[in-house]
Structure 1
Amino acid sequence: MVASFTLRPAVPADGPFLAEMVVEAANWHAQRARPKFAVLTDPAHVHYVSGWPRPGDVGVVAEDADGEAVGAAWYRIFTKDDAAHGYVATGVPELIIGVRPMWRGVGVGRALMRELVRQAAAAGFVRIALSVEQGNFAEGLYRSEGFRVAEVHPPRLTMVRRLT
């Protein structure tokens, strides 16, 4: 498949699509898929989309040639008292990324991640974090983009990338 896609800023109306991408990210392993309801009622996963967009939220959506959304990446700022899976410190945005299965492995995730990292650096952040389940093939993408394991909380890894 030749991947033809474009990136655009995420807007308030993208909230439902971002929720779909949280479900895609959580269900990266087909044999351990969780129902949409289970993912979107998990308190940590809800943090990623509740009230989208909040002040400070930044996101990017990938669209195919027909304008259909195929993936998204966004970051949010959490506090220690209101943390999600990849929290490392107040003031360090947490990146969330999801790509529809048929669009994985063709550069969509990498393009989304690079654009969001670029925007985080331009906004003055020094680091950006994410959380990934151990064994997820996306860990290789994150490592290749400069993310390093900062904490291990089985079955999850918290990864951080320096931006400066």
Structure 2
Amino acid sequence: MTALSIRPAAPGDGAFLADMVVEAANWRDGTNRPRPVVLADPVHRGYVAGWQRPADAGVVAVDPEGRPVGAAWYRVFPPDAAAHGFVAAGVPELIVGVRPLWRAQGVGRALLQGVTDAARRAGFARLALSVEHGNFAAALYRSEGFAVIASTATRDTMVRRLG
């Protein structure tokens, strides 16, 4: 990874996290779902709406010029407002987004490790996430201890125990 730093996500990072939701939604080469379309979806919007709630935490990767290039964060969703990777009440769902120019350079792994450590320190026993079939990030998640616990026609739900 090229001289990046990882810092805790802050309340003022909400707009950048929204950008990262859009990046995550556009992971496939050639996909261009515009920001207004992505954030109009209630599930995608739920990943950032009202950031930073008391149980929210995350990390941001910053380039040498101080520009954010990626983020990983988690939120706890109630059953009646479940997101794509919901597994149970009290289990935070992880979201990861990295700008395209910074992908495949270790940024996602550094973010994933940072947010996993934050969740462990906060006392969570598990982290969950959802990944679309074909997304290269699934291999990263598996290598960091996430395992598929449920699958649909389009996506897998993965969980990592933090014990």
TM-score by length of 1: 0.97
The alpha carbon displacement at 1:79 in A equals 1.1
Q: Counterparts of 1:86-97 in structure 2 under 5 Å?
A: 86-97=85-96
Q: Counterparts of 1:38-77 in structure 2 under 5 Å?
A: 38-77=37-76
CA distance in 2, matches of 1:32, 1:15: 23
CA distance in 2, matches of 1:163, 1:10: 20
CA distance in 1, matches of 2:150, 2:74: 19
Q: Counterparts of 1:1-164 in structure 2 under 5 Å?
A: 3-164=2-163
- Figure out how many residues of one structure are paired with residues of the other and give that number: 163
Unaligned runs of at least 5 residues, structure 1: none
The alpha carbon displacement at 1:154 in A equals 2.1
The one-character-per-residue Cα deviations of 1:44-88 (angstroms, maximum 9, x if unpaired) are 101100000011100111000000000000000001111111000
Give me the identity figure in percent.
61
Runs of 4+ with >2 A deviation: 30-33
CA distance in 2, matches of 1:87, 1:151: 10
Unaligned runs of at least 5 residues, structure 2: none
The one-character-per-residue Cα deviations of 1:8-66 (angstroms, maximum 9, x if unpaired) are 11111110000000000000012232111110111110110000001110011100000
Alpha-carbon RMSD across the aligned residues, in angstroms, is 0.9
Q: Secondary structure at the residue paired with 1:71?
A: strand
